[in-house]
Structure 1
Amino acid sequence: MKKLFSLFVLSTIITTTLFAQDKKALRIGIVGLTHTHVHGILGRPNHGDLQIVGIVETDKKLAQRYAAEHGFSMDIVYYSLDEMIAKAKPEAVAAFGSIYEHLKVVEKCAPLGIHVMVEKPLAVSMEHAKKMEALAKKNNIHLLTNYETSWYPSLHRTYELLKKDSIGNLSQIIVRDGHRGPKKIGVNEEFLVWLTDPVQNGGGAITDFGCYGANISTWMQNGKKPLTVTAVTQQFQPENNPHVDDEATIILTYEHSKTTIQASWNWPIGRKDMEVYGTTGVLFADNRNNVRMRIAQGYDWFKESTYKLDERTAPYNDPFSLFAAVIRNEIILPSYDLSSLENNMMVVEILDAARKSAKTGMTVKLK
């Protein structure tokens, strides 16, 4: 019996190993190196699920700098997307240029059946977003959006506790994101140039960090569209951000709840945290790995539970693993998933309304 069991285990190991070897790595291209989130894919451990086959970057010095840092060959660097597609033949691309350039990437890749992942937000405007959505649907490609917070265990535990009715019916969400400002934290010049440009980025902090709260709220609200959007923007660092806002507060109202988004380039510390309130308690996602739940007792007392969370399991711990799994039909994203197209169309609609509200001083009603 022991011998048979040992043979069974050995057979299972061999089969699993052969399956892993047979699983073809996704051929992925990188479009642009100016967004410093690109280090997330360039410095990623080799899990065998991706093969970077080409990089598009017109700035040769920038490409050489990153080649030296990450060890890729300049032989896979191309100076146009057309050349990279023709020679490297990617199945998918990840865009790491300005937000304005996302549309051009989709316009080129979608008709060729090449899947696209962009960094948050999806687009600079609804005009761009609608064109991207139409191209993705017409050509049957996946078009995903990556947010850093999508991979936070704390965000997902908060969502699970809310859906389990742990704190009663949702009443309000408060999302806070940001840092001291791009220049103060020392982002590289190539990134700073377009991040503080109202056309290339679509705004300042309202775009850069306002999108996180819009994304999370849409997810937690099961895709409900806000009834109204009200926003106030300010500029506290004109010497560093002369052309864009660096402070934004956005309020979204729903039928029975609201969301407050505090997006700032003026926090004294970097932060990505949130509070979710229900009728009987509150959830605090303090950082990537820690959650507190307080259940109301009496007038101002509460019972607190704390959660110290491990990282999520693959492929839910990494944007590129998830991207590959979705393309390979190993995962079907739920409706209004954080990375999904429908969620991120809503995000852009909210941001468009927020910019309009901030400009006019009026609340915007969404149709």
Structure 2
Amino acid sequence: MKKWIFVLMASLLSLHHSMGQDPVKIAVVGLTHSHVNWILGREDKGDIEIVGIVEPNTDLAERYLSRHDISMDLVYKDMESLFEKVRPEAVTAFGSIYEHLEVVQACAPLGIHVMVEKPLAVSMEHAKKMEALAREHNIHLLTNYETTWYASNHEVKERVKDNSAIGPLRRVVINDGHEGPKEIGVNQEFLDWLTDPVLNGGGAVIDFGCYGANLMTWLMDGQKPVAVTAELKQIKPHIYPKVDDEATILLDYPTTQGVIQASWNWPFSRKDMEVYGSTGYLIAKNNTRLISRGTGENQEKTEMLSQRPYPYDDPFSYLAAVVRGKVKVGARDLSSLENNMIVVEILDAAKESAKKGERVYLK
């Protein structure tokens, strides 16, 4: 009964926040990333309106839109055709990571805000160009991660910020991955670029290593690691001949170590984080489950947390609130451009470290 009351209250709160303002006009650019189901199948909260979809692959567009009962009249073959007809306030990019730069190049001069799926860019070369465009044209350039909306991660952050819960941070272990994109049955269009070293920038190191780099940078309040050491493996070269499917990345800070374990070889899907201090630990097992043990406690305890409040529970509610000026993006926030520039720098360093067989020092 309590659960249903909470769900009802959350729905009413969402409705309250979205009332009194026009929905933010959003265009979806690209449908090859299967995470696009997140926005196409999203409950209508009244805060966004999809005014156009860019996808040159008509067959792919028909498959997705028929699934979600969306009209093909919204589909355009390219961004130029879209912008001739409608002017969205923001764009969400669901193509390959390599295509993120092209999206920002098209949107920034028009003053259109952009949210990309993780990570921000395929390389620092692309990331710097995107950053320059966003700064020059004063647009928001956000990066979306599933784990940004986890209540457990935010509770961990709150408890470690003053060192009182578990003492100063000593080690953080971040685990992200699944059995492999082919093994879990992603659509072929997604698989084609996800396993391409140019279009995705790598394999598991990019696909799942970015989560750990994002969270670690956040926990360290925007501090860069001194050095990055990584080992990339191809455990299944017969399935993924061009990219790694296993990545271990060590981030070295003056008094803290970050361990990122990114894999297409887990026996099951997982996104969890272990945070160890000098006097205790916190483990975010999933979105709402938190395990902890602190100073003077003889055994660990488990807590089930509530979902995050609107608009911090959903990337598109968050995007709408940012566009409307109701939420200000801080430089140290998970979605921020500043955080995600460091993420790309870490990923580039990880690939360089694995290639050279040595630790790479960041400038």
Structure 2 equivalent of residue 279 of structure 1:
278
- Quick one: distance in 2 between partners of 1:70 and 1:332? 32
- Mapped to 2, the partners of 1:20 and 1:178 lie a distance apart of 34
Residues 277, 135 of structure 1: alpha-carbon distance in 2 compared, 3 angstrom cutoff: same
Q: Which is further off, 303-312 or 109-118?
A: 303-312
| From 129, 132, 141, the counterpart of 1:131 | 129
Which residue of 114, 119, 126 corresponds with 1:121? 119
Partner deviation per Cα, 1:308-343 (whole Å, 9 max, x = no partner): 011111000000110110111101122210000000
Matches within 5 A, 1:180-329: 180-297=179-296, 302-329=298-325
Aligned residue in 1 for 2:32: 34
Contact 2:54/2:82 (8 A) holds in 1: yes
Give SS of 2:206's match: helix
1:143 has 2:141 as partner: yes
Q: Secondary structure at the match of 1:93?
A: strand
* Contact 2:165-2:295 within 8 A present in 1 as well: no
Partner of 1:98: 96
Matched residue, 2:326: 330
Amino acid in the other structure paired with 1:277: Y
Counterparts of residues 75-94 of structure 1 (less than 5 Å): 75-94=73-92
Partners of 1:47 and 1:255 in 2: CA distance: 45
Q: Let me know the Cα RMSD of the aligned residues.
A: 1.5
2:168 paired residue number: 169
Distance, in Å, in 1 between the alignment partners of 2:309 and 2:207 is 28
Q: Could you tell me which amino acid in structure 2 is paired with residue 203 of structure 1?
A: G
| SS of corresponding position for 1:310 | coil
Q: Which runs of 5+ in 1 are unaligned?
A: 1-16
1:139-164 CA distances to partner (integer Å, 9 max, x unpaired)? 00000000000001111111111124
| 1:160 aligned partner, one-letter code | E
Displacement, 1:88? 1.9
Indicate the larger mover: 158-167 or 182-191: 158-167
The CA distance in 1 between the partners of 2:18 and 2:332, in whole Å, is 31
Percent pairwise identity: 59
Note if contact 2:331-2:337 (Cα within 8 Å) is conserved in structure 1. Answer: no
Q: Please give the alpha-carbon distance, in whole angstroms, between the structure 2 residues aligned to 1:20 and 1:115.
A: 19
AA of the residue aligned to 2:234: Q
**Take 1:180 and 1:349, find their aligned partners in 2: how far apart are those partners?**
26
- In the alignment, the residues of structure 2 paired with residue 136 and residue 295 of structure 1 have an alpha-carbon distance, to the nearest angstrom, of 43
Match of 1:352 among 328, 331, 348: 348
- Paired residues in the alignment total 349
1:120-177 deviation per Cα after TM superposition (whole angstroms, max 9, x unaligned): 0000100000000000000000000000000011111111111242001111100000
SS at match of 2:173: strand
Using the size of structure 2 for normalisation, the TM-score is 0.94
Corresponding residue of 1:158? 156
- TM-score, structure 1 normalization: 0.93
Amino acid at match of 1:104: E
Whole-angstrom distance in 2 between the partners of 1:129 and 1:213: 18
Equivalent residue number for residue 6 of structure 2: none
Partner AA of 2:118 in structure 1: K
Q: Counterpart of 1:9?
A: none
SS at match of 2:298: strand
Map of 1:64 onto structure 2:
62
Contact 2:108–2:139 (CA under 8 A) maintained in structure 1: yes
Moved over 6 A (4+): none
**Is 1:23–2:21 an aligned residue pair?**
yes
- Post-superposition shift, 1:303? 3.2
Question: 1:339 is matched with which residue: 319, 335, 357?
Answer: 335
Ranges in structure 2 where 5+ consecutive residues have no aligned partner: 1-14
1:66-105 Cα offsets, whole Å, 9 max, x none, are: 1110111111100010111121211110000000000000
Looking at structure 1, the residues matched to 55 and 207 of structure 2 have their Cα atoms a distance apart, in angstroms, of: 22
Matched to 1:312, the amino acid is R
Change (3 A) 1:356 1:18: closer
Name the SS for the 2:228 alignment partner. Answer: strand
Q: Report if aligned partners of 1:296, 1:303 keep a CA contact under 8 Å in 2.
A: no
